[in-house]
């Protein structure tokens, strides 16, 4: 979707205002406390920035169904903390050195501190979420809890797939619908519930989040291959070294033959270590068309998200949701 520059500037201003409101609330909720082993890493990860996409989605979804922004702020902060909890624990499991251009929590402290602070983040997130003023708080808690369950299951599948040979693209889409898609879909669903949307509006916003989550994860897979360390904020080629069953690997496996297929079948945790070996895999992704297929899948999922958002009544928030999906399509980090 092509937007005029003046509308883009307006929508960016709205997005940044929502992000600022979330940042302000997070700063007021998580301060320097004792024990420092628990709270200093939490402050570190929450202060590391990020786009706050999931939190902003809660607010936009609430507004898109006619709700008031301030009623959704606690839920927005809670979903942002949940997302950052997953990053802390995922980085431990993936042996990641960098996150948003800074040392990961387990590298700056150690794995025990990362696990403990991550656990505390979930506890704090529930404490914040319980402050939400809504006649349907039980449903909001159910959506949030299901997202936590699903993201843990998704991470479990992600780790299991690393050592399995017969993983299909259908398996991959199931995994990312849990690991990435469910938290994003929960963001839009919770916002719609808090805004007292109709059942149709809530379903549309949940579906928008699911499609957006799919596009977001495939884009992450792509950036791990074609991005830069400076822009992406973490080491490029990490998925290859960790043996991740990404969209690119599975699509390339569908098409590769001979020696190329043998190399791809050897991608397991720790098997591909050197820079030249990683570059060889990237070359296979290029000439099998896996990179182009990933780009097409991102566009397809983004268009589906926009079509689903089109079912909502006209509003400025709806327009920003469509605009935001376009921004994520073009992101480099």
4 occurs within a structural domain: no
Range of the domain at 166: 10-329
What angle separates helix 182-194 from helix 199-226, to the nearest 10 degrees?
Answer: 150
The CATH number linked to 101 is 1.10.600.10
pLDDT for res 1:
46
280 occurs within a structural domain: yes
281 Cβ partners below 8 Å, 6+ apart? 237, 240, 263, 264, 267, 272
What would the mean pLDDT of 141-163 be, rounded to a whole number? 96
pLDDT for res 120:
93
Taking only the tens place, the pLDDT of each residue in 3-58 is 445 688 999 999 999 999 999 999 887 666 889 898 998 989 888 878 999 999 99
324 occurs within a structural domain: yes
Residues in the chain: 333
What would the mean pLDDT of 223-229 be, rounded to a whole number? 86
Residue 87 Cα distances to 113, 195, 215, 275, 293, angstroms:
14, 28, 18, 25, 27
How far apart (Å, rounded) are the C-alpha atoms in residues 240 and 183? 25
pLDDT for res 31:
65
Q: Is 230's pLDDT higher than 90?
A: no
Average pLDDT, the chain: 92
pLDDT for res 331:
81
Share of the chain above pLDDT 70, in %: 96
277 occurs within a structural domain: yes
Q: Is 71's pLDDT higher than 70?
A: yes
Contact 36, 168 (CB under 8 A): no
2 occurs within a structural domain: no
Taking only the tens place, the pLDDT of each residue in 87-102 is 999 889 888 888 888 8
How far apart (Å, rounded) are the C-alpha atoms in residues 165 and 172? 13
Confidence band for 323, pLDDT divided at 50, 70 and 90: very high
Q: Is 205's pLDDT higher than 90?
A: yes
43 occurs within a structural domain: yes
The structure tokens listed for 161 are: 């797939």
Q: Record the pTM.
A: 0.92
What would the mean pLDDT of 262-268 be, rounded to a whole number? 93
Number of structural domains found in the chain? 1
């Amino acid at each position: 979707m092509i937007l005029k520059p003046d509308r883009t500037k307006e929508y960016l201003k709205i997005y940044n205002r929502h992000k600022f409101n979330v940042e302000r609330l997070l700063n007021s909720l998580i301060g320097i406390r004792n024990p420092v082993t628990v709270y200093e890493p939490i402050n570190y990860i929450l202060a590391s920035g990020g786009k706050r996409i999931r939190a902003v989605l809660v607010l936009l979804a609430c507004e898109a169904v006619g709700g008031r922004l301030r009623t959704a702020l606690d839920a927005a902060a809670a979903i942002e903390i949940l997302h950052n909890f997953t990053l802390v624990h995922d980085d431990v499991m993936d042996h990641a050195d960098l996150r948003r251009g800074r040392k990961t929590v387990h590298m700056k402290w150690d794995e025990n501190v990362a696990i403990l602070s991550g656990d505390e983040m979930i506890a704090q997130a529930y404490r914040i979420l319980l402050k939400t003023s809504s006649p349907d708080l039980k449903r909001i808690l159910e959506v949030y809890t299901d997202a936590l369950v699903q993201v843990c299951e998704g991470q479990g599948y992600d780790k299991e797939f690393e050592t399995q040979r017969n993983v299909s693209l259908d398996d991959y889409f199931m995994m990312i619908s849990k690991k990435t898609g469910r938290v994003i879909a929960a963001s839009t669903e919770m916002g719609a519930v808090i805004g007292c949307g109709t059942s149709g509006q809530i379903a549309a916003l949940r579906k928008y989040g699911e499609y957006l989550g799919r596009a977001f994860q495939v884009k992450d897979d792509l950036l791990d291959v074609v991005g830069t360390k400076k822009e992406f904020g973490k080491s490029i080629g990490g998925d290859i070294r960790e043996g991740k069953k990404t969209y690119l690997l599975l699509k390339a496996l569908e098409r590769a033959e001979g020696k190329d297929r043998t190399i791809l079948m050897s991608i397991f945790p720790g098997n591909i270590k050197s820079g030249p070996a990683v570059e060889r895999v990237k070359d296979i992704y290029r000439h099998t068309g896996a990179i182009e297929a990933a780009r097409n899948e991102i566009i397809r999922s983004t268009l589906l998200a926009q079509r689903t958002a089109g079912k909502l009544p006209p509003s400025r928030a709806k327009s920003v949701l469509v605009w935001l999906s376009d921004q994520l399509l073009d992101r480099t980090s």
